[in-house]
Amino acid sequence: MKLGLQLGYWGAQPPTGVAELVAAAEESGFDSVFTAEAWGSDAFTPLAWWGRETSRVRLGTSIVQMSGRSPASIAMHALTLDHLSGGRVVLGMGVSGPQVVEGWYGEPFSKPLARTREVVEIVRKVLAREAPVTNDGPHYPLPYAGEGATGLGKPLKPIVHPLRADIPIWLGAEGPKNVAQTAEIADGWIPLFYTPKSAGMYQPWLDEGFARPGARRTRQDFEIAATCHLQVTSSEEERRGVINALKPSIALYMGGMGAKEQNFHKNVFDRMGYATVTEQVQELFLAGERQKATALIPDDLVEDMHIVGDRAEVKERVARWEETGVTTLLLTCRSADEVRQVAEILD
């Protein structure tokens, strides 16, 4: 199992110390560095900025929101960065949710699986550069010939010859149908809440995708990149403090990400067996009672989602994640020293 550094997306201000984190990951043998986006910082620019000082680590997005750019634009970003990095890009994409897609990007959220399939097909056509790119699908028709069209649209090939036609495409997916489609059409999967305890829930969904005619990969060459926070602690008091500090983020995803009527993250926690808790957390969170919502997050859920403990516990827990089929563990680390410490423990 490889290690990746998960930088995530920015808060109110750009984070500090990122250059040192990335340098430590490169020097310590980490396989990759990943960035994310929500409705603030984008995923590509930080990779280009901090990735320029690296020469070995893969540079991945986890994830690019498909509705924020046309498929051709996504392909152009990936193509460009792949050249600049010498062929180290991993293109992670996902559909996001209706609040962001319709509220932030002003695009319809309907038919997310069909839209995902079209985006992947178009990106691959651009990168293959075998013919002018066309698409007959209803979501991203190329050339566009709908309302307001001039009729002058022309199928095009990218001017720049892609460095790699097979840039890995990993998809963020949470529900059964989406996970199965990911196993069918993608090179890898970026689950948000994959854990050792929940891993068995996903296996039939993945198997369904791998079994479909024309599936791109098999379980043997399909990548699974799971994110968690890893922190080495030296006392029970310190461990308790870290666990409590991780609860607000879980409460946010469980109760505040998405609408009450449709929160895909909450649905995952429901499937994991926490339905009673999620209802209460969502109700409190949406009522503005964030501290009360956070207090309801069970310790065992935090410890399943993240790796916190002394050196021996960390090694044992990491091995447990690897046994479930995770090929890359994307870690959130707070300092360059932590990055180096993790690499030394897991060497």
- pLDDT tens profile 46-96: 999 999 999 999 999 999 999 999 999 999 999 999 999 999 999 999 999
Rounded distance, CA 142 to CA 116, Å?
16
State the pLDDT at residue 347: 83
* Tens-digit pLDDT profile for residues 327-340: 999 999 989 999 99
User: Is a pLDDT exceeding 80 seen at residue 209?
Assistant: yes
Of 90, 106, 110, whose CA–CA distance to 31 is shortest? Answer: 90
Q: What is the pLDDT of residues 267-321, one digit of tens each?
A: 889 988 898 899 999 999 989 999 999 999 999 999 999 999 999 999 999 999 9
Q: Give the Cα separation of 347 and 345 in Å (integer).
A: 6
Average per-residue pLDDT for the chain: 95
Res 257 pLDDT > 90: no
* pTM greater than 0.85: yes
C-alpha dihedral sign at 200, 299, 293, 36: negative
Count CA atoms within 13 Å of residue 267 on its CB side. 12
